[in-house]
Amino acid sequence: MSTEKIHQTANDFNTYVRRMKQLHEAIQLIQWDMSALIPKQGVAQRAEVVGMLSGDLFQMQTSDQMGEYLDVLSRPEAMELLDPITRASVLDRKTEYDRDKSIPPEKFREYVVLTQTAESAWDDAKRNNDFEIFRPYLEQIVAILREFIEIWGYKENKYDALLSKYEPGLTVAKLDTIFGGLREKTIDLLRRVTEQKQVNRSFLHQPFPRDVQYRYSRHMLDALGFDFSKGRFDESPHPFAIGLNPNDVRITTFYYDNDITASLFGTIHEFGHAIYEQNISHDLIGTFLCTGTSMGIHESQSRFWENMIGRGREFWQHHFASLVEHFPAQFAGVSAEDYFKAINFVEPSLIRVDADELTYNLHIMLRYEIEKDLINGKIEVKDLPEIWADKIEEYVGVRPDSHATGVLQDIHWSGGAFGYFSSYSLGNIYAAQLEHAMQKEIPNYREQVAAGDVTQVLAWMNEKVYKHGKLLTPGEIMLQATGEEINSEYLVAYLESKFKEIYGI
């Protein structure tokens, strides 16, 4: 094939993908609106609009036209002629294309319908504390996923095929190693922490006017460097961040009347996602590389900003004064140190989303073990409630007295999102590893944070992570930034250092 023909095809491919990305941006905006703003009765009609546009996008992604582009451009002699962005874009689209095209359309439709109906069955089951309502749906979902995996293929472990959907390159073999040490050390540390005396945190749970919470969250976003000319900050029942493009990144939070921590740390968490998206290189606009490189790396940023910065002692050395200024009555007689300890309070509990920084990873590893065994056929859906209860007792030391606080607490499985949970802990692991590397290059970064200055921290993260978007893989980013592959030892060291100090162990 002629060089000219390859370049022409590359141009056509880029135009085609840019169009897809525009369609994707339209869909994302509508979904943002549906999550944050839409009037109640507008939902049904808008869902049809989203369905129509999503169908169009899927059709473009799996079209013969796309197949022809990828066929030409993914050949070695073509690849070497492409610029790096087009090359990465071809690989990115080819991964999607191969995955989507391999599933027979009628099987895929069956799966889409199933997961749509499964969500309300899950909701019903949770409400009525009746696992049996959800069981047949979950069994079908697992069965179809097992079929998909056979089609997609796998090298060592069936579950690898699902893990790599969210974290390219991740395998059970790697994750067993990564999680192994973390689990042991965390269980041990948690046991020692909970032997210590209780921390007073009653002042965190008293009336906090919502409008002041809003003002303080906004103040915090300003202080951290969220660019309001490139984003919005709104309210929604389930906080989230969405990057429509680097110039329009939107986050939401939720305000509880009697809890300042939810909105405050929720906002800082979403800030981490948002600052990543706001700083992706504009060279990637118009491609699907213009987003975070993986769920895990994305989560590393929300966790880094929420926990390592936002729950750090240095951060509040600077910010505690402004907190007291916004809530003078609530924090009367509370010291920065009291506050720091209260926001880092550790307590074994049943619900993942409410878990503290230390316990959290145990909730994830429990789900990882269950998913892995389920997909590999070592356990079956009907046994999940019992297995769940046993495992959470083993890991965290508490046992659920209902399905709603046990096996039915998360929505994820009803949507078929097996392989997704691990991203949350990968985020913590990546974050600690990145922090360790950054500390070596900016030895006084903690003093800077204590002085209210995060510009160097942001610049470092931008250089190592943000600007690359999805042009680099998670593995490449970690290797370039830290000199090694993913390693959970840094998270273990961070957690031990932090909580031993706080709890005087």
State yes or no: residue 47 binds its own copies (CB under 8 A): no
- Crossing angle between the packed helical segments 84-102 and 3-36, to the nearest 10 degrees: 70
State yes or no: residue 243 binds its own copies (CB under 8 A): no
- Long-range Cβ contacts of 51-54 (<8 Å, 24+ apart): 53/23, 53/26, 53/27, 54/27
* Residue ranges of E strands in 196-314: 231-235, 241-245, 248-253
Residue 115 to residue 414: CA distance in whole angstroms: 6
Contact range with its own copies by CB under 8 A, out of 101-109, 241-249, 367-375, 396-404: 241-249
User: With contacts defined by CB under 8 A, how many residues of the chain interact with its own copies?
Assistant: 32
Pull the structure tokens for residue 166: 């969210």
State yes or no: 269 annotated in a binding site.
yes
Q: How far is the CB of 32 from its own copies (least distance, A)?
A: 9
Q: Which of 80, 139, 150, 270 is catalytic?
A: 270
Contact criterion met (CB below 8 Å) for 16 and 65:
yes
Q: How far is the CB of 280 from its own copies (least distance, A)?
A: 13
State yes or no: residue 29 binds its own copies (CB under 8 A): yes
Closest CA to 138 of 317, 385, 382, 331: 382
User: Binding residue for its own copies (CB under 8 A) from 41, 198, 202, 455?
Assistant: 41
Q: How far is the CB of 228 from its own copies (least distance, A)?
A: 7
DSSP per position, 238-249: S--EEEEETTEE
- Verify whether residue 270 is a known catalytic residue: yes
User: Binding residue for its own copies (CB under 8 A) from 38, 79, 112, 387?
Assistant: 38
State yes or no: residue 245 binds its own copies (CB under 8 A): yes
Looking at the Cβ atoms of 232 and 436, the one nearer to its own copies is: 232
Q: Please, which of residues 78-97 interact with its own copies by CB under 8 A?
A: none
Closest CA to 361 of 185, 220, 114, 238: 185
Task: Say how many residues make up the chain.
Answer: 505
Looking at the Cβ atoms of 47 and 223, the one nearer to its own copies is: 47
| Site string (275-294) toward its own copies, x via CB under 8 A | ----------x---------
Residues of 348-384 as b/e, b for ≥16 C-beta within 10 angstroms?
Answer: bbbebeebbbbbbbbbbbbbbbbbbbbbeeebebeeb
Q: How far is the CB of 12 from its own copies (least distance, A)?
A: 16
State yes or no: 299 annotated in a binding site.
yes
Q: Please, which of residues 283-342 interact with its own copies by CB under 8 A?
A: 285
State yes or no: residue 37 binds its own copies (CB under 8 A): yes
Looking at the Cβ atoms of 60 and 324, the one nearer to its own copies is: 60
Q: Are strands 231-235 and 248-253 parallel, antiparallel or unpaired?
A: parallel
User: Binding residue for its own copies (CB under 8 A) from 5, 11, 49, 505?
Assistant: 49
State yes or no: 318 annotated in a binding site.
no
State yes or no: residue 251 binds its own copies (CB under 8 A): no
Q: Please, which of residues 112-171 interact with its own copies by CB under 8 A?
A: none
Q: Which residues contact 435 (CB under 8 A, 6 or more apart)?
A: 304, 308, 490, 494
Residue 181 to residue 185: CA distance in whole angstroms: 6
Q: How far is the CB of 30 from its own copies (least distance, A)?
A: 6
Binding residues for Zn(2+): 269, 273, 299
Binding residues: 269, 273, 299
| Residues annotated as part of the active site | 270
Interface residues with its own copies (CB under 8 A)?
19, 22-23, 25-26, 29-30, 33, 37-42, 44-46, 48-49, 52-53, 227-232, 244-245, 247-248, 285
